[in-house]
Amino acid sequence: MAILTKDSAKPANPTPGRDNRGSSSQGRGTNSGRGPAQSDRRPAPQPERKPEKKIVELSDSVTVREFATMIGVSPINVIRELMNNGVMANINQQLDFDTAAIVAEAFGFEAKPMQIAVPVQEATAVVVDPATGKPAPARLTTLRQRLLARESAEMQDKRPPVVTVMGHVDHGKTSLLDVIRKTDVAAGEAGGITQHVGAYQVEHEGRKVTFLDTPGHEAFTAMRARGASVTDVAVLVVAADDGVMPQTREAIAHAKAAQVPIIVALNKIDKSNANPDLVKQQLADAGLVSDEWGGDTMIIPVSAKQHKGIEDLIEGILLVADSLDSIRANPDRTAIGTVIEAELDKSKGALATVLIQNGTLNLGDAFVIGKVYGRVRAMFDFRGHRIKKAGPSTPVSIIGMSDVPVAGDVLEVVEDDKIARVMAAQNIAAATRETSHSRATTLQEYFAQAKAGKAKKLLLIVKADNQGTLPPIIESLERLNVEDGEVHLEIIMRGIGGITESDVDLAAAAGAVILGFEVTMDNAARRKAESSAIDVRTYEVIYKMIEDVELALKGMLTPKLVQRVIGAAEVRQVFKINKVGNIAGAIIRSGVAQRGAKARVVRDGKELAVGIVSSLKRLTDDVQEVRQGFECGLGVEGFTEYKPGDTLEFYVEEYK
């Protein structure tokens, strides 16, 4: 056997002009006994061809496990290759397209974007506004309206109404639901307060009703802020011995903003101090006039304790439902629903409670929920029983998701897992790119949209410091409405006290502007308003508030000077400095304190003073700023009466 060496690969006597590759005196050693003629007849060797790369189609995001399966190699080898490229990953790590393409090339594959025809007819369906008969923009309609718009009239069947129960914290909401569904939830709850969002279905004389039990109107509105509108009827629970409370008024405002009919369950009528007529008068003052007094609100006396009036309440719900033409669905199509709650269960993994709003969900269906995809591996009804399918208005718990979805996200059944993965990846990419808000949330934006024919109402939330100033503010604002105006204002909520996180939630869900007179705003509400781009305006003079709204209606509003909170501190000690006065020894609770910024001193929720941060020390050194978690000594210009427990809010002013 001849051995190929460096010298033997060269010709001994190369002949000019002759193709050396055809010479018998070169190549792989001698011709091993073959004759010259035989050597000349051997075909010249062809250039070595590189093996063609195989094609693998990848979505925008794929796990290591899925990628390894696609190219037919062990996940361990994929992880090793990732490590060689400086990427530490586990088997469930998500890889973007570029990373996966580099790894694919190392295994002899060429990566190409996955080309899948994703159904788009759902997103482009034309919705007709029943009030005008003209097409309405999809973003201005509820999910329920969009679902109905896709179905022909003959394909729509009556479905069970979906009812949300709201009310004050201790007016017996959960106890009432307890009686309706004949279970005992309240006994196991901490402090008697509902700690979860539940969905239940009951049957009355052959007809079903679905109840949503929420921790409060905040959760109800938080879902609406995400675009989910799952409620057909709102039941407001009011105690006959307690009457309309601040939370009751908030619940009314949230239900009205959702444009759903309200039924009042007048609970605790069995109590000796119950006063139904007084409560009805309070409800009328809040805008819910009893049908007995010529209004359009059903007020049904009930007693959860004595099980009285429950059938009347359910019959009232069905009566209102029969008057609503929108309570229809097509059970013979693929399912679409909304996530009511979701959690990570220790034994089942990602678990979501979904309210099916149209179509039928079947065991084994592939689906996408926002950024999450999966296949229905198991399905349970509200009693925990395994089921194989769920029709419209049915609450059902499902497992088989890639991650825990967000409450309010929409579940949509798709053809297969591959489409589900692609749609989830597209939703992730879209969420990353999303920087604007679909609703107008500033006075300037309202006028711009009105000029373009996109907005007809300026929605306001008005908060005042006391009952004496609220009525004149409301009257002055309502006088701004003119018959032929381009934009009409509507006050969806009015109240006494500071601006809270609940107010911001309502503004985000309804697309409203918050106006405050002589009130403060807590830090949680301020952070949420800034992150949601909600326009919050506070005033110390009533006419200035009225002037701003009037200018917005006329389109003459100039940029406003706004306060951007940069930090907050708590006063721990007070130090007396000779020739200077009192200095606050404080700890920075959030953000940063800056020399030269403005600070407001708040005690027991009331603003005492506003001034510039004139001095700021860290230990013994003068500093320009002190960040969260550190202690400092500071002085606010014009104020020295600090007390331990005072709150200092630091802010800067800028035009917006």
Q: Is residue 145 part of a domain?
A: no
- Could you report the per-residue pLDDT of 552-562, keeping only the tens digit for each? 776 655 566 77
75-84, 352-361, 389-398, 412-421: least confidently modelled range: 75-84
Q: Do 399 and 417 reside in the same domain of the chain?
A: yes
Q: Which domain holds residue 88?
A: 54-113
Q: Do 426 and 488 reside in the same domain of the chain?
A: no
Question: What's the CATH number where 541 sits?
Answer: 3.40.50.10050
- Could you report the per-residue pLDDT of 272-290, keeping only the tens digit for each? 888 999 999 999 988 899 8
Q: Give residue 451's pLDDT.
A: 56
Count the domains in the chain.
5
Please answer whether residues 569 and 587 qualify as being in contact, where contact means their C-beta atoms are separated by less than 8 angstroms. yes
Question: What's the CATH number where 395 sits?
Answer: 2.40.30.10
Pairwise pLDDT comparison (335 vs 131), residue with the higher score: 335
Last residue of a domain, one of 307, 328, 349: 328
Q: Do 230 and 305 reside in the same domain of the chain?
A: yes
Give the Cα separation of 587 and 573 in Å (integer): 10
Q: Do 398 and 468 reside in the same domain of the chain?
A: no
Total count of residues recorded for the chain:
656
Q: Do 192 and 89 reside in the same domain of the chain?
A: no
179-183, 354-358, 573-577, 620-624: least confidently modelled range: 179-183
Q: Do 258 and 166 reside in the same domain of the chain?
A: yes
Pairwise pLDDT comparison (428 vs 149), residue with the higher score: 428
Pairwise pLDDT comparison (257 vs 642), residue with the higher score: 642
Q: Is 86 left (phi over 0), alpha (psi -120 to 50) or beta?
A: left
Q: Is residue 24 part of a domain?
A: no
Q: Do 312 and 383 reside in the same domain of the chain?
A: no
Rounded to 5 degrees, what are φ and ψ at 284? -65, -40
Q: Do 551 and 568 reside in the same domain of the chain?
A: no
In one-letter notation, the amino acid at residue 18 is: R
Give the Cα separation of 242 and 268 in Å (integer): 9
Please answer whether residues 648 and 640 qualify as being in contact, where contact means their C-beta atoms are separated by less than 8 angstroms. no
Measured in whole angstroms, the distance separating CA 91 from the mean position of its chain's CA atoms is: 29
The 3-state DSSP composition of the chain as helix, strand, coil percent (nearest 5) reads: 25, 35, 40
- Residue 237, both tokens: 């629970």
Angle at 546 between CA 543 and CA 549, to 5 degrees: 150
Pairwise pLDDT comparison (184 vs 394), residue with the higher score: 394
Please answer whether residues 166 and 237 qualify as being in contact, where contact means their C-beta atoms are separated by less than 8 angstroms. yes
Please answer whether residues 202 and 181 qualify as being in contact, where contact means their C-beta atoms are separated by less than 8 angstroms. yes
- Residue 310, both tokens: 């429950």
Last residue of a domain, one of 362, 397, 432: 432
Rounded to 5 degrees, what are φ and ψ at 380? -130, 145
Tell me the mean pLDDT in the region 373-393: 91
Tell me the mean pLDDT in the region 153-175: 78
Bridge partners (DSSP) of residue 631 are: 587
Q: Is residue 284 part of a domain?
A: yes
Q: What ranges in 555-606 are assigned the alpha helix state H?
A: none
Bridge partners (DSSP) of residue 350 are: 344
Last residue of a domain, one of 493, 523, 558: 558
Bridge partners (DSSP) of residue 137 are: none
Q: Is residue 131 part of a domain?
A: no
Per-residue burial over 204-235, b if 16 or more Cβ lie within 10 Å, else e, is eeebebbbbbbbbbbbbbbbbbbebbbbbbbb
Q: Give residue 52's pLDDT.
A: 65
Q: Supply the mean pLDDT for the chain.
A: 77
Q: Is residue 348 part of a domain?
A: yes
Give the Cα separation of 40 and 43 in Å (integer): 8
Angle between helices 64-71 and 75-84 (to 10 degrees): 110
Tell me the mean pLDDT in the region 32-39: 45
Please answer whether residues 238 and 266 qualify as being in contact, where contact means their C-beta atoms are separated by less than 8 angstroms. yes
Q: How many CB atoms lie under 10 A from the CB of residue 37?
A: 8
Reply yes or no on whether the pLDDT at 527 is more than 70.
Answer: yes
Residue 229 pLDDT grade (very low, low, confident, very high; cuts 50, 70, 90): low
Q: Do 318 and 172 reside in the same domain of the chain?
A: yes
Q: Is residue 367 part of a domain?
A: yes
As a dihedral over the C-alpha atoms of residue 383, residue 386, residue 388, residue 394, rounded to 10 degrees, the angle is 10
Residue 68 pLDDT grade (very low, low, confident, very high; cuts 50, 70, 90): confident
Q: Give residue 27's pLDDT.
A: 42
Reply yes or no on whether the pLDDT at 38 is more than 50.
Answer: no
Q: Is residue 635 part of a domain?
A: yes
Q: Give residue 606's pLDDT.
A: 85
Q: How many CB atoms lie under 10 A from the CB of residue 502?
A: 21
Reply yes or no on whether the pLDDT at 492 is more than 60.
Answer: yes
Q: Do 617 and 541 reside in the same domain of the chain?
A: no
110-119, 166-175, 523-532, 538-547: least confidently modelled range: 110-119
Q: Give residue 576's pLDDT.
A: 86
Write down the residue that tokens 């032929």 correspond to.
Answer: 484
Q: Give residue 138's pLDDT.
A: 37
Give the Cα separation of 477 and 493 in Å (integer): 13
Question: What's the CATH number where 80 sits?
Answer: 1.10.10
Q: Give residue 494's pLDDT.
A: 85
Q: Do 360 and 424 reside in the same domain of the chain?
A: yes
User: Whose CA is closest to 489, among 500, 499, 479, 502?
Assistant: 479
Residue 130 pLDDT grade (very low, low, confident, very high; cuts 50, 70, 90): very low
Q: Is residue 1 part of a domain?
A: no
Q: Do 459 and 599 reside in the same domain of the chain?
A: no
Question: What's the CATH number where 221 sits?
Answer: 3.40.50.300
